[in-house]
Amino acid sequence: MLPKQQFDKDEKVLCFHGELLYEAKILEVDQDASTAPFRYRIHYKGWKNTWDDWVENDRLRKLNDENREIAQALKRQYMESVQKPAKPTTSKRKTLPSDFSSTRGSEERYASAPVTGRGQKRGRNADLEEEEAFQNRPMIKIPIPDYIKSLLVDDWEEVTKNLALVPLPSQKPVNTILDEYFEEEKEKRFPGSADMDLLEEVVAGMKEYFDIALGRMLLYRFERQQFLEARKHWTEGKGEWKGKSGPGDTYGAEHLCRMLVNLPEIVAQTNMDAQSINRLREEMIKFLRWLSKNTKTYFLAGYEPANQDYIEKTRAN
């Protein structure tokens, strides 16, 4: 029996990469021989072109509501697996004495310094080579508007000093912010152009990364109990939580900006080339300028003081 072509060129699909399903587009269809299976060259939405891949039918799924739900379920399972608290490790970093230090080291950013010395003996040459290789990687420098910087400092003080929380779910969550930015920005770009494709990929990539990064590096320690409670609401989907399925539907501009501040650190750990980094930087500058002009629309007017029951739960964990 001749193999059957199940997908077409330019069709939008879901494609397995590891254990997760990602939205992708079929760029080419190929069959070397009449008996060979069809292969499809796909581009993952929000990913750079170096991740384009040739795949067979078994890695592809039709882009429909049923398969979207499967993709969301796989993502939730993955997030639960990586968000389990890690075992405590010994640290040689001087930290600010606080019962509620950040899980991502944000308090340390304001009041600590690394201690020299290494926990493991290594050759000096190996250390120098490793440091040189890291320093030679393309770096991204994103100028954060001053007003957003001040809002981030206020955000840090509200959570870590005043023991207050952002109300959840946000009235203007990250996905809504990015959708509204996309709708406004796309009017300045030609449909089908490289600039339009880049805008689509950057917005999709920010959504994807925010969902993964939120629980891993964007929360202060005092917020983790609130995050655990939010996850329960995502499962139940009742009341104001109906339709909320993850961080991008729940958290707002404050946490989005925490991610953008950490972006240079994040990019330094990737294999992005200089050209891709420059394009990303330009897109981030445009987005931050837009967000800075719309802070009253997207940022909180006030935080909610945590009640005593919540504080006790946080101290117990």
pLDDT tens digits in sequence order for the chain, 317 residues long = 556 788 999 999 999 887 788 899 999 998 765 656 788 999 988 887 878 888 888 889 999 988 888 888 777 776 665 555 444 444 333 332 333 233 344 443 333 333 333 344 445 555 555 545 444 555 677 888 888 988 998 999 999 999 999 999 999 999 999 999 999 999 999 888 888 999 999 999 899 989 989 998 899 999 999 999 999 999 998 999 999 999 999 999 999 999 998 887 777 766 777 778 888 889 999 999 999 999 999 999 899 999 999 999 888 87
Instruction: Supply the pLDDT for residue 59.
Output: 87
Instruction: Supply the pLDDT for residue 136.
Output: 53
Q: Report how far residue 195's alpha carbon sits from residue 286's, in angstroms, rounded to the nearest whole number.
A: 13
Residue that has been written with the tokens 């504080």 in this structure: 311
Instruction: Supply the pLDDT for residue 142.
Output: 83
Give the count of alpha carbons within 13 A of 133, CB side only. 9
Instruction: Please report, for residues 10, 101, 179, 219, the alpha-carbon distance to residue 253 in angstroms, rounded to integers and kept in the order given.
Output: 34, 21, 13, 13
Residue that has been written with the tokens 């980094």 in this structure: 277
Q: What is the CB neighbour count within 10 angstroms for residue 136?
A: 8
Instruction: Supply the pLDDT for residue 2.
Output: 59
Q: Report how far residue 116's alpha carbon sits from residue 112's, in angstroms, rounded to the nearest whole number.
A: 13
Instruction: Supply the pLDDT for residue 79.
Output: 67
For 187, phi and psi rounded to 5 degrees?
Answer: -65, -15
Are 219 and 210 in contact, with CB atoms under 8 Å apart? no
Are 248 and 240 in contact, with CB atoms under 8 Å apart? no
Instruction: Supply the pLDDT for residue 129.
Output: 54
Residue that has been written with the tokens 């925490």 in this structure: 258
Q: Report how far residue 34's alpha carbon sits from residue 148's, in angstroms, rounded to the nearest whole number.
A: 59
